[in-house]
Structure formats: structure tokens, C-alpha cells
């Protein structure tokens, strides 16, 4: 998997500035050199810094953005980057500043002058997040990022503050890699193997094969994958960092490694993006990886249903009726509404086996949520105000867009079937909401639950602040923050 760029924390050494290779990045705020490093750079460049900081170009730069001076005289560096960041900047502004440096990082690496800035650790996190690239399938010359030295006043303290953020970035990278992989590489077998390898981090990992799923009665999940050569699986990951015997928080992810729509086949245009239909499972995996790497003091279980939805002589048909593990029968109106069938069985199994204190599922579930919210926010559905508000606060703190959507009896009534207990699809109007209500049927009345529809946020066609175009890893940061703030015990 992709690893975050090599980053070290060092004491500020002004004598290194003239010979530092690659990129030299200076945090600046006003219209004149004010810090010791800025004044030294100004002397080395014979006043270039003073001219730049007093220019109209610099005045137009927004907080967290940058102005780059190429091949500055007096420096060995290829570029001197001025990054606008006030000392009272927020963590999110500091991450944006770090991302500006990460976006520009090249083979020569970077020397980042954080000096005494209080958000140095967050700057390092933003830098690492934006320096991500996915190139394993490119055969041409690849970009190899040089090392990054972050010079600061208290390097040991900053390194300690950055350690859990480094674990978080590795979890996000793991999620992005999974979402970016093509389906001929990331089969259900390969996905399960990558998750099983995380036992080396201290996770307990168990793989339920098709024979196990049949015994459990997961016919809704198995019906989705019955037209594929790739066997359906459920992978269970447990992190036991909290009190022994304490009920865990449960995370459940949809892992459709490729979705053709099945017999209700999708249009050809854009179908290549359906390699990302396992995004919910990828986020669960990334969160579990982050928790293990940072040794979180919480009990968390992550379950993912891995299937492939293909058209075949054995594939599920519109009009079929399947019985879920819960016992409810489902009329399959549309085989392209498959993710909710996968989640139905995994949600019920999670509650029956683990009896969690709360449950959160993630899925690239509906195109309807993109119509409603675009690509800026994930749709949030919940039966519990306290858990939902805690999650929304965590998402806001981490800069991950999330918006609570309505639920109600009128939407639930649309699930009624003529021949079974419920239908799996209710048409276009309110599609994301009726999908959430379908899942709600498999959540026990006393179980605090959130459903996150990440169809619009899991993968983007343009870059975002912390990611290049492609997989974003949305949700890993927010869920990690929720667990840290509300589910971890004291040290």
C-alpha cells in the first residue's frame, strides 16, 4: 500500500537554508519578513522575500494558500514557497497550508520552516495527506517524493503530537488505495486477504466464507453475488483496546467490488467508476487500521460484506424473493439496488453476535444522494439524536462535509411489497431516504444507528484540499474523531 511521505521533525537550523535542496517552504503572515528564518532567507535572496511579501500577488493569497518563487537567487532550492498562515490559524487552516506544500512536493523533498507555529503537527498532517498519489498501474516514469524535514522550535513535542495523525493518514491512504484499485485486481478474495494481513497490527480478523454465510441464513447478501465468479465473503475485524468485555462500537461497510447493476444493468457510460462501490467497506478498513496503529483505547468491531454484482445465467432476477438472516422476505424490484441487500444481513449479524453500543454503516448506496447533496456532503440518516449529533460534530471538526437527512413514516410505507414483506427499491422520488428506511428495518429498536451514504464523497473527479482527484478516504477522519472523543477510555 501507499505509505505517507517520509517526514522528520528537526530543530530550526538557519545555516541549512542556503543549501537545502528541493523546496523550501516558509510560513508567513504579514507584508514583511518577521521571523528569524524569514529574515535569513531575505538576506540570502538579496531582498527577494521583502519584495514578494509586499507585492499585490501576496496580498491576494488566502489563508492556507501559497505563492511560489522559482529558482531563488542565493538558495540551492528549486523553489521558495511562501505559505500564508497566521499564528492563530485553526487546525483545518493549518492542514490546508500543509496540503499546499504536499501538492508541490517533488523528488528533491522539502524543508518546511514551521519555527514556533503552534499548529506544526497539523501542517505535517495536511502535507502527508495531499502528497498521496496512486501509480501502481502506471508503467512510465513515476514521481518519487523526496524526504520532508519540518523545522520547528520543539521537534520532540511536535513529533509526539503528529504521531496519531500519522496513524490516521496511513488509514486514509489504505482506504484510498482500496477505492482506487481496479476490480480485476481488488477481487473479493484480494480484498479479504488485504484485511486479513492487518492481524499483524493487532486486529483480530475472521473471514466468513459462502458456506458459513449459508448456515447463518444470509440469503440477501448471497443473492447479490450469485452471478459472479468471485465468492461472496464477510470479513470481521475486531480491535480490543478498551475495557475487557465492554460492548464495542460497530462499523459496517458495503463492499461491492464491482457493480454492473446485475440483470438491471447500468448504462455503459461511467460504469468504470463502479470499482468504487466498495467504498463503505474501504472506509471501515481504514478506520480499523488507524485505530490499531495509534493503539486506540476503545473496543471497535468492523464488518464488511464483500460481493460482486454481475449479470450471468445464475444471477439474481428482478422479481425474485429472498429471505434475509433476520427472517424478513425481500422482493427484488431492481438488482441494481444491491448494496442494501448486503448491508441488511451484515447489520443483523452484527447485532446478533456483538450486541454493540452503537452501529454505523457506510455505503456508496444511491445516486439520489448525489442529486440531493452533490459532492460536498455525505448524507447522514439516524434514529438517535445523541449519536448523530456527536458524529456531525466530529465530521465538522475534521472538515468532512456531512448533512443530516430526514426520515419518516411516509417514506417507510413505500417499502410495502405485494408478494413479500418489503421491496428493495421504491423508485426515484426520495430514493436515498427510502434506501435508509430499508436498512432501518434491519436495525433493532433499541440500537443507536447511523447510515452514511457516501456515494457523492467517496471519489471525486477533481482534487480536493487534502486529496488529488480520485478516492478521498472520506469518513476515516470523522469516525476516528468520533471514537477518540466519545468511545475511548482514559489513559
Mean pLDDT of the chain: 97
What span, in angstroms and rounded, lies between the C-alpha atoms of 219 and 333? 16
Give me the mean pLDDT over the 120-129 stretch.
98
Instruction: Give tens-digit pLDDT for 150-166.
Output: 999 999 999 999 999 99
Q: What pLDDT is recorded for position 159?
A: 98
Q: Model-level pTM?
A: 0.97
Contacts (Cβ under 8 Å, ≥6 apart) of 253: 278, 280, 281, 282, 283, 284, 285, 302, 303, 304, 305, 361, 362, 363
Contacts (Cβ under 8 Å, ≥6 apart) of 76: 18, 19, 20, 21
Of 340, 440, 441, 484, the active-site residue reads 340
Contacts (Cβ under 8 Å, ≥6 apart) of 304: 191, 195, 234, 235, 237, 252, 253, 254, 255, 280, 281, 284, 285, 346
Q: 39: which 3 cell numbers?
A: 529574515
Q: What pLDDT is recorded for position 143?
A: 76
Q: pLDDT category, 195, cuts 50, 70, 90?
A: very high
Residue 226 has pLDDT above 70, yes or no: yes
Q: pLDDT category, 40, cuts 50, 70, 90?
A: very high
Phi-psi region at 92: left, alpha or beta (left = phi > 0; alpha = psi -120 to 50): alpha
Q: What pLDDT is recorded for position 242?
A: 97
Q: What pLDDT is recorded for position 260?
A: 98
Residue 176 has pLDDT above 80, yes or no: yes
Give me the mean pLDDT over the 430-453 stretch.
98
Q: What pLDDT is recorded for position 490?
A: 64
Q: What pLDDT is recorded for position 1?
A: 77
Q: 423: which 3 cell numbers?
A: 421491496
Q: What pLDDT is recorded for position 271?
A: 96
Of 39, 266, 396, 404, the active-site residue reads 266
Instruction: Give tens-digit pLDDT for 64-79.
Output: 999 999 999 999 999 9
Catalytic status, residue 51: no
Contacts (Cβ under 8 Å, ≥6 apart) of 51: none
Catalytic status, residue 143: no
Give me the mean pLDDT over the 263-280 stretch.
97
Contacts (Cβ under 8 Å, ≥6 apart) of 164: 294
Residue 141 has pLDDT above 90, yes or no: no
Rounded to 5 degrees, what are φ and ψ at 279? -60, -35
Residue 491 has pLDDT above 60, yes or no: no
Give me the mean pLDDT over the 204-232 stretch.
98
Give me the mean pLDDT over the 332-359 stretch.
98
Amino acid at each position: 500500500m501507499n505509505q505517507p511521505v517520509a517526514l522528520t521533525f528537526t530543530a530550526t537550523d538557519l545555516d541549512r537554508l542556503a543549501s537545502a535542496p528541493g523546496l523550501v517552504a516558509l510560513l508567513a503572515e504579514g507584508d514583511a519578513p518577521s521571523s528569524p528564518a524569514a529574515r535569513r532567507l531575505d538576506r540570502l535572496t538579496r531582498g527577494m522575500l521583502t519584495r514578494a511579501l509586499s507585492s499585490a500577488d501576496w496580498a491576494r493569497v488566502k489563508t492556507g494558500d501559497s505563492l511560489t518563487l522559482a529558482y531563488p537567487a542565493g538558495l540551492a532550492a528549486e523553489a521558495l514557497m511562501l505559505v500564508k498562515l497566521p499564528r492563530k490559524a485553526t487546525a483545518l487552516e493549518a492542514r490546508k497550508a500543509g496540503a499546499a506544500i504536499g501538492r508541490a512536493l517533488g523528488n528533491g523533498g522539502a524543508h518546511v520552516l514551521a519555527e514556533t507555529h503552534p499548529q506544526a503537527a497539523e501542517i505535517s498532517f495536511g502535507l502527508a495527506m495531499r502528497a498521496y498519489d496512486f501509480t501502481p498501474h502506471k508503467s512510465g516514469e513515476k514521481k518519487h517524493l523526496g524526504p520532508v524535514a519540518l523545522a520547528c522550535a520543539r521537534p520532540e513535542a511536535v513529533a509526539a503530537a503528529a504521531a496519531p495523525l500519522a496513524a490516521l493518514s496511513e488509514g486514509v491512504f489504505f482506504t484510498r488505495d482500496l477505492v482506487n484499485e481496479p476490480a480485476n485486481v481488488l477481487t473479493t478474495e484480494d480484498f479479504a486477504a488485504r484485511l486479513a494481513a492487518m492481524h499483524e497490527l493487532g486486529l483480530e480478523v475472521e473471514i466468513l466464507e459462502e458456506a458459513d454465510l449459508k448456515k447463518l441464513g444470509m440469503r440477501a447478501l448471497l443473492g447479490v453475488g450469485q452471478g459472479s465468479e468471485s465468492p461472496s465473503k464477510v470479513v470481521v475485524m475486531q480491535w480490543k483496546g478498551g475495557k475487557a468485555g465492554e460492548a464495542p462500537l460497530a462499523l459496517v461497510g458495503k463492499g461491492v467490488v464491482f457493480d454492473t447493476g446485475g440483470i438491471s444493468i447500468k448504462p455503459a457510460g461511467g460504469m468504470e467508476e463502479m470499482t468504487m462501490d466498495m467504498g463503505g467497506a474501504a472506509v471501515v478498513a481504514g478506520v480499523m487500521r488507524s485505530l490499531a496503529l495509534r493503539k486506540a483505547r476503545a473496543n471497535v468491531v468492523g464488518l464488511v460484506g464483500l460481493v460482486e454484482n454481475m449479470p450471468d445465467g445464475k444471477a439474481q432476477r428482478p422479481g425474485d424473493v429472498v429471505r434475509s438472516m433476520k427472517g424478513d422476505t425481500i422482493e427484488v424490484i431492481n438488482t441494481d439496488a444491491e448494496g442494501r441487500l448486503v448491508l441488511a444481513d451484515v447489520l443483523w449479524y452484527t447485532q446478533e453476535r456483538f450486541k454493540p453500543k452503537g452501529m454505523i454503516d457506510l455505503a456508496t448506496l444511491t445516486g439520489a444522494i448525489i442529486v440531493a447533496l452533490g459532492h460536498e456532503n455525505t448524507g447522514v440518516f439516524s434514529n438517535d439524536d445523541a449519536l448523530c449529533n456527536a458524529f456531525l460534530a466530529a465530521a465538522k471538526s475534521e472538515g468532512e462535509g456531512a448533512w443530516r437527512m430526514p426520515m419518516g413514516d411516509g417514506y417507510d410505507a413505500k417499502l410495502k411489497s405485494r408478494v413479500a414483506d418489503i421491496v428493495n427499491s421504491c423508485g426515484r422520488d426520495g430514493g436515498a431516504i427510502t434506501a435508509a428506511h430499508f436498512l432501518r428495518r434491519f436495525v433493532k429498536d433499541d440500537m443507536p444507528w447511523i447510515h452514511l451514504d457516501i456515494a457523492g464523497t467517496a471519489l471525486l473527479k477533481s482534487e480536493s484540499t487534502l486529496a488529488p482527484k480520485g478516492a478521498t478516504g472520506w469518513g476515516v477522519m470523522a469516525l476516528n474523531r468520533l471514537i477518540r472523543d466519545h468511545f475511548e477510555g482514559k489513559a
